């Protein structure tokens, strides 16, 4: 019995390496069996998803770059320092100034005087008085609400504090047919075309003012209108002004 027991233990000892190897193989098989059988398919689908996502991101980036480039081409690239016009004594039109003085003496109002008086009315009047002044300006004659403003403007003309100034719209043959709308401190001055010869815009203003000139594209071919204006001592420019597009200049009356 003792010998048989010793023989069994020896056989077990002899088989132990094989039994341990068999257990290791079974363990490896059990570890491999924990992965899902469709793991390669899941990996491929993730790679496909990432590829589609990257393609969409790249396409979106190209579209954005294209839009930015297009906007840059059509944008106004003029330095803000070239959007300031100065009106000085050299820009005063003596003949038109004399005409405006005579109209004020007769309590008559033309378009130039009307624009200046409407600015005064908005600053100094309110309520019913403002409405009455607006009605008088629309009809082109004086009324009690407007008379004090007329007298004040006439006194400024007599003292040399107000005058009729000239702004020149620069010529440009390539811009023929293009036009802009101008507003000075919110008051419409009219629509002005860009022609092959330069021409003058005359405005009645007081000295010592800084006004806001708003330019709106009315028509524009070839990537929008290019509008330039000049005075004796300054010039200003707006480029690529499409219909409805706006730009702002500063008008300084010295």
pLDDT at 110: 95
pLDDT of residue 31: 47
pLDDT value for 42: 62
CB 176 within 8 A of CB 191: no
Distance CA 203, CA 116 (A): 8
- Residue 5 lies inside a defined structural domain of this protein: no
C-alpha dihedral sign at 202, 204, 210, 215: negative
List CB contacts of 156: < 8 A, sequence separation 6 or more. Answer: 162, 206
pLDDT of residue 141: 87
pTM over 0.75: no
Local structure of 233: helix, strand or coil: coil
Q: Closest by alpha carbon to 225, among 201, 195, 186, 184? A: 195
172 sits in the region (left: phi over 0; alpha: psi -120 to 50; else beta) called beta
Rounded to whole angstroms, the Cα distance separating 247 from 227 reads 10
Shared-domain flag, residues 233 and 178: yes
103 and 193 together in one domain: no
Give a yes or no: residue 135 inside a domain.
Answer: yes
In a domain, 128, yes or no: yes
* Total tally of structural domains belonging to the chain: 2
Check whether residue 143 and residue 177 sit in a common domain. Answer: no
110 falls within a domain: yes
Nearest in space to 188 (alpha carbons), one of 213, 218, 225: 213
Task: For residues 227 and 170, state if they share a domain.
Answer: yes
- Please indicate, yes or no, whether residues 175 and 123 belong to a single structural domain of this protein: no
Q: Which of 137, 158, 179 is the C-terminal boundary of a domain? A: 158
**Taking Cα atoms as reference points, which of 195, 161, 154, 159 lies closest to residue 178?**
195
Q: What pLDDT is attached to residue 53?
A: 75
Q: What is the pLDDT along the chain (254 residues), one digit of tens a residue?
A: 444 443 444 444 444 443 444 444 444 444 444 545 555 556 667 667 677 777 788 777 666 544 444 444 445 556 777 899 999 999 999 999 999 999 999 999 999 999 999 999 999 999 999 999 999 999 988 999 999 999 999 999 999 999 999 999 999 988 888 999 999 999 999 999 999 999 999 999 999 999 999 999 998 655 688 999 999 999 999 988 999 999 999 999 99
Domain that holds residue 189: 78-91+163-253
């Amino acid at each position: 019995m003792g010998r048989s027991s010793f023989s069994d233990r020896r056989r077990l000892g002899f088989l132990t390496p094989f039994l341990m190897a068999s257990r290791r193989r079974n363990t490896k098989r059990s570890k491999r069996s924990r992965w899902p059988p469709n793991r390669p398919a899941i990996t491929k689908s993730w790679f496909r998803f990432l590829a589609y996502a990257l393609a969409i991101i790249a396409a979106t980036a190209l579209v954005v770059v294209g839009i930015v480039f297009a906007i840059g081409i059509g944008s106004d690239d003029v330095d803000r320092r070239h959007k300031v016009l100065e009106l000085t004594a050299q820009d005063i039109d003596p003949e038109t100034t004399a005409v405006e003085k005579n109209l004020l003496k007769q309590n008559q109002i033309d378009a130039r005087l009307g624009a200046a008086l409407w600015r005064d009315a908005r600053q100094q009047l309110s309520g019913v008085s403002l409405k009455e002044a607006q009605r008088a300006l629309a009809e082109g004659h004086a009324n009690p609400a407007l008379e004090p403003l007329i007298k004040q403007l006439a006194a400024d003309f007599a003292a040399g504090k107000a005058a009729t100034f000239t702004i020149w719209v620069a010529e440009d043959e390539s811009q023929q047919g293009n036009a802009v709308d101008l507003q000075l401190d919110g008051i419409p001055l009219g629509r002005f075309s860009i022609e092959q010869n330069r021409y003058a815009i005359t405005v009645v203003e007081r000295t010592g003012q800084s006004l806001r000139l708003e330019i709106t594209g009315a028509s524009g071919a070839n990537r929008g209108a290019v509008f330039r204006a000049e005075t004796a001592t300054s010039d200003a420019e707006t480029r690529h002004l499409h219909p409805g597009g706006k730009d702002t200049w500063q008008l300084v009356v010295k």
